[in-house]
Amino acid sequence: MQFGDLPITRVGVGSPARLPERLRWLIAQVAERFGGMDGFKLAELVKEPGSPWRQARGDLADDAPSDAEIRPDVIADYHRRFGFGETSDPTPRQNELAQRFFDGDTDALAELFGATVL
């Protein structure tokens, strides 16, 4: 890990233009929702009860070192249930689209979030 638990001090290099347009849209949605939060607030979100981070660590203290894996299926399940703050149960269609995204179909995520034209 390049930064570990230290603040990220520089932006990575690369060209956003190389990403599919719908993935750029998703990144913009995430940046809009979470970009104004500082590291402390983001850490609070990650450490909420039931979060994948919390599930992987079990009873470990927040500041205890751990190399426990946060499994992708646990992350997928969590975001299927809660999305970007949605607390209602997803519809069967939302579940299908989320599964397609986690299987690698980035178009499904844009449809899930209601993008009309990308």
Burial (CB count <10 Å: 0-12, 13-18, 19+), residue 83: middle
Q: What is the reported pTM?
A: 0.52
**Could you tell me the pLDDT band of residue 116, with boundaries at 50, 70 and 90?**
very low
Domain total of the chain: 1
Domain assignment present for residue 6? The answer is no
Q: What is the structure's pLDDT at 66?
A: 93
Are 100 and 22 in contact by the 8 Å Cβ rule? The answer is no
CA distance 68 to 58: 9
Domain assignment present for residue 9? The answer is no
Domain assignment present for residue 5? The answer is no
Q: What is the structure's pLDDT at 114?
A: 64
